[in-house]
Structure 1
Amino acid sequence: MKMETSHIFWSIFYFACLCSASLANNAKINFREKEKKVLDQILGAGKYDARIRPSGINGTDGPAIVRINLFVRSIMTISDIKMEYSVQLTFREQWIDERLKFDDIQGRLKYLTLTEANRVWMPDLFFSNEKEGHFHNIIMPNVYIRIFPNGSVLYSIRISLTLACPMNLKLYPLDRQICSLRMASYGWTTNDLVFLWKEGDPVQVVKNLHLPRFTLEKFLTDYCNSKTNTGEYSCLKVDLLFKREFSYYLIQIYIPCCMLVIVSWVSFWLDQGAVPARVSLGVTTLLTMATQTSGINASLPPVSYTKAIDVWTGVCLTFVFGALLEFALVNYASRSDMHRENMKKKRRDLEQASLDAASDLLDTDSNATFAMKPLVRHPGDPLALEKLRQCEVHMQPPKRPNCCKTWLSKFPTRQCSRSKRIDVISRITFPLVFALFNLVYWSTYLFREEDDE
């Protein structure tokens, strides 16, 4: 008897569960049917005209207020040569259309969702600095419209844009760039349509945003209304401040250029007679530096002003070319010294030949005449003059030593040629001047502020 009672109990319980589930499904079906009825009620034929703009605040005849909100998903590329950047973002607009109010069925119907933008009135917004753009349609179009019970409409879409970004490259690659995103009304003037930034957080940026050569420092929102012959149009803009990553250019440009300049100084330590080695070294470093400069300019647009990188490459190229010219000067001085030494040798040979001839004549005369030489030398005698000169040198007070003359005295004219002196002076002068240029260059461009645009 007990077994039959429990079996009947569980049968009734199971039947009750099935009935409740069927009632819930019917309620859901009826709820979706109510959504359809609400949509037909507010968007049915002859009830709503998408060509007419919504009324102003509180149903007045003022302009329709549209609030804008952006979510920056990614920034793909920032091109210096094209002066543009590509961005992917979620774009949102929100406004109130009192014609779309509906009953929320005691809070159960939070909003209605549409995927066809042509069913309701849409603001005629466009991106004024856009070059290219496209919607995303995989797998379905990434767009939706939500209609809330109070008549508020939210339009959200994911788009990719390529936007113009005029750049000032005077401080390149130590520069900061401001790239703008401008949105304006195409046909509705401010008397009919006004764009405003959404209160709170009008622009959001994805947290893990990574750019290859830039860092997004900050962004600013502003208004940019424009007046034309046809009226004043509402406009919004967001300025993205990008700072260029200098480490890439330090490794790829500045350090290689410094190394090329230093390698060109190796020529000063080679022997003057090593003409092939010094010429090949100078020409190789010059051509390499020229190739480096042309490669840098190929990645930049042709502008009418001088950039910071132009100053750097120009001075480095001048130093390399100066090292090559220094060898030309050394070679010329070496040949001049050789010619002068040959002339001196010929003069000494002639003087020695004349002295030998004179001594032969004296020997002949001495054999014929036995004249006694005087014991006291005359004042004009060369030996007496030499002793007098030595005494005057010892009697003079010691002069104060000069560091430059002391250093140059290590290479006296008789022991070291002029060409050798040029090499020795170049070993000190070139590095000092290059170090001074580095000091002036980095102090000028690192602490120089951007010109106000």
Structure 2
Amino acid sequence: MWPGVLPLVAVLITLLHPSGCTHTGKVNYRAKEKEVLDDILGEKTYDARIRPSGENGTDGPAIVRINLFVRSIATISDIKMEYSVQLTFREQWLDERLKFNDYGGRLKYLTLTESTRVWMPDLFFSNEKEGHFHNIIMPNVYIRIFPNGNVLYSIRISLTLSCPMNLKLYPLDRQTCSLRMASYGWTTDDLVFVWKEGDPVQVVKNLHLPRFTLEKFLTDYCNSKTNTGEYSCLKVDLLFKREFSYYLIQIYIPCCMLVIVSWVSFWLDQSAVPARVSLGVTTLLTMATQTSGINASLPPVSYTKAIDVWTGVCLTFVFGALLEFALVNYASRSDMHRENIKKKYREIEHSSSVEEPDGTANFQMPLVRHREDTMLMDKMRQCEIHMQPQKKNCCRSWLSKFPTRSKRIDVISRIVFPLVFALFNLAYWSTYLFRQETEDE
């Protein structure tokens, strides 16, 4: 082909590709970073006390974009009404004073570990109770300065935040815990916080809570006005649903079992006084201890909780079973007294009947009769008048199979107590589950 073409191509490749050139040495870009930092953060060129200018170099407020990454949620305390969270907190803003030459893309960003070197927003967590930074092995914080002047501040912190709770539906409730961030000294004329576009809040995928489930989270703004001005504020609402299975196993099923055990007393013989008394007292004390343990893990609020209704009714059923035995014992003694009266009445009738010589019985009362016997006979006649056989229905005919009142009370209790408890369960679960669905909407 053309003999002079190949040398010309080789020359062009050498000129266009830097590796084809012979260098006496490479450029040290780490040293260039130091030169850039000394240049943009010099005492005569940068003052960290002065806030950056607004967008497009105007005198408007500095815009700071916020981004959160929730690493873990340790505890959610009902009695203290607080929760602990560990998160990576990020702020990003534009400071045109920090623009630098990136040497053709070789310097992607500059990294600092001292936040005092640049201007920082005065953000604070308004509902914080306690908090600390993480310093193992080195402080978990960095500042990145990009060539166009963008500053990214990232830090890992652990916070204990207040979370006011409404426990009326406890343990069928859902709670909303907020994380509020606001400016402490700069008003909205100088500083405005906004959520970063796209995905302002991220949550670790394998987040695990012992008694709650994080259903969703919502971001919003919560600017506040005081007598010193209006301050920018951001908030994220974490919606937690309480795991009901734990409370079903630990509270509801044991309470049901205690109530059912108290009904065993209805099937014991009425003469088994020690057994029935010990059973009633034991279940009553156990139920009271269960109620005290539940209340010990909750704050002393002024309203009635769903769990209070449940434990209160269960305690009432257990106490009612103990009172039922007292009524049965009283009725048993009354039945015995009535039987003694009937027996004595029969003896009086037998002694008052005199056998005549012709074989006919003379039922005329003697002229002289003991006063007590006369009163006893009058009382029995009155009882017989009041206890005239009435029109029998199915219930009366069934109850007539049990001759004593004490036995009838036991038999009726065997049906009434479970039936009323079943109706209470129907009303309780339908009411509170419906209220829970209404709050969700």
Identify the TM-score tier after normalising by the shorter chain.
0.7 to 0.9
Q: Hey, what does 2:409 align to over in structure 1?
A: 422
Q: Hey, what does 2:357 align to over in structure 1?
A: 363
2:235 counterpart of 1:241: no
Aligned AA for 2:26?
A: A
Q: Hey, what does 1:11 align to over in structure 2?
A: none
| Aligned pair partner of 1:209 in 207, 210, 218 | 207
Aligned AA for 1:443?
A: S
Whole-angstrom distance in 1 between the partners of 2:440 and 2:396: 52
**Alpha-carbon spacing, 1:132–1:165, altered in 2? closer, same or farther (3 Å):** same
Q: Hey, what does 1:152 align to over in structure 2?
A: 150
| Aligned pair partner of 1:303 in 301, 304, 323 | 301
> Within 5 A, what are the aligned runs for 1:28-107?
30-107=28-105
Q: Hey, what does 2:272 align to over in structure 1?
A: 274
Q: Hey, what does 1:408 align to over in structure 2?
A: 399
Whole-angstrom distance in 2 between the partners of 1:56 and 1:307: 51
Q: Hey, what does 1:391 align to over in structure 2?
A: none
Give deviations 1:61-105, integer Å, cap 9, x for gaps. 000000000000000000000000000000000000000000010
**Alpha-carbon spacing, 1:87–1:347, altered in 2? closer, same or farther (3 Å):** same
| Aligned pair partner of 2:332 in 326, 331, 334 | 334
Question: Matched residue of 1:410: which SS?
Answer: coil
Q: Structure 2: state its 5+ residue gaps.
A: 1-18, 361-390
Alpha-carbon shift at residue 27 of structure 1 (Å) = 2.7
Alpha-carbon shift at residue 23 of structure 1 (Å) = 7.1
Whole-angstrom distance in 1 between the partners of 2:104 and 2:352: 134
Whole-angstrom distance in 2 between the partners of 1:86 and 1:265: 45
Alpha-carbon shift at residue 364 of structure 1 (Å) = 7.7
Whole-angstrom distance in 1 between the partners of 2:23 and 2:395: 108
Whole-angstrom distance in 2 between the partners of 1:76 and 1:446: 28
Q: Hey, what does 2:312 align to over in structure 1?
A: 314
**Alpha-carbon spacing, 1:259–1:83, altered in 2? closer, same or farther (3 Å):** same
**Alpha-carbon spacing, 1:365–1:223, altered in 2? closer, same or farther (3 Å):** closer
**Alpha-carbon spacing, 1:365–1:218, altered in 2? closer, same or farther (3 Å):** closer
2:322 counterpart of 1:324: yes
Whole-angstrom distance in 1 between the partners of 2:358 and 2:66: 122
Whole-angstrom distance in 2 between the partners of 1:350 and 1:112: 118
Question: Matched residue of 2:252: which SS?
Answer: helix
Aligned AA for 1:402?
A: N
**Alpha-carbon spacing, 1:365–1:160, altered in 2? closer, same or farther (3 Å):** closer
Whole-angstrom distance in 2 between the partners of 1:79 and 1:365: 93
Q: Hey, what does 1:122 align to over in structure 2?
A: 120
Whole-angstrom distance in 2 between the partners of 1:141 and 1:64: 27
Aligned AA for 1:92?
A: R
Alpha-carbon shift at residue 404 of structure 1 (Å) = 1.9
TM-score, scaled to structure 2: 0.86
* 8 A Cα contact 2:61 2:189, kept in partner: yes
Name the % identity.
Answer: 86
Aligned AA for 2:411?
A: V
* 8 A Cα contact 2:165 2:175, kept in partner: yes
Whole-angstrom distance in 2 between the partners of 1:346 and 1:402: 32
Question: Matched residue of 2:156: which SS?
Answer: strand
Q: Hey, what does 2:7 align to over in structure 1?
A: none
Across the two proteins, how many residue pairs are aligned to each other?
391
Question: Matched residue of 2:75: which SS?
Answer: strand
Q: Hey, what does 1:374 align to over in structure 2?
A: none
Question: Matched residue of 2:26: which SS?
Answer: helix
Aligned AA for 2:276?
A: R
Aligned AA for 1:410?
A: K
Q: Hey, what does 2:4 align to over in structure 1?
A: none
Question: Matched residue of 2:401: which SS?
Answer: coil
Give deviations 1:85-130, integer Å, cap 9, x for gaps. 0000000000000000000101111000000000000000000000
Aligned AA for 1:363?
A: P
Q: Hey, what does 1:226 align to over in structure 2?
A: 224
Whole-angstrom distance in 2 between the partners of 1:424 and 1:27: 102
Alpha-carbon shift at residue 406 of structure 1 (Å) = 3.2
* 8 A Cα contact 2:29 2:106, kept in partner: no
**Alpha-carbon spacing, 1:331–1:105, altered in 2? closer, same or farther (3 Å):** same
Q: Hey, what does 2:432 align to over in structure 1?
A: 445
Q: Report the aligned-residue RMSD.
A: 1.9
Greater Rg by CA: 1
Q: Structure 1: state its 5+ residue gaps.
A: 1-18, 367-398
Whole-angstrom distance in 1 between the partners of 2:307 and 2:124: 37
Whole-angstrom distance in 2 between the partners of 1:94 and 1:301: 40
Whole-angstrom distance in 2 between the partners of 1:85 and 1:48: 40
Alpha-carbon shift at residue 142 of structure 1 (Å) = 0.2
Whole-angstrom distance in 1 between the partners of 2:345 and 2:203: 87
Question: Matched residue of 2:86: which SS?
Answer: strand
Aligned AA for 2:432?
A: Y
**Alpha-carbon spacing, 1:225–1:364, altered in 2? closer, same or farther (3 Å):** same
Q: Hey, what does 1:265 align to over in structure 2?
A: 263
TM-score, scaled to structure 1: 0.84
Question: Matched residue of 1:447: which SS?
Answer: helix
Whole-angstrom distance in 1 between the partners of 2:37 and 2:245: 58
Question: Matched residue of 2:357: which SS?
Answer: helix
Aligned AA for 1:27?
A: K
Question: Matched residue of 1:320: which SS?
Answer: helix
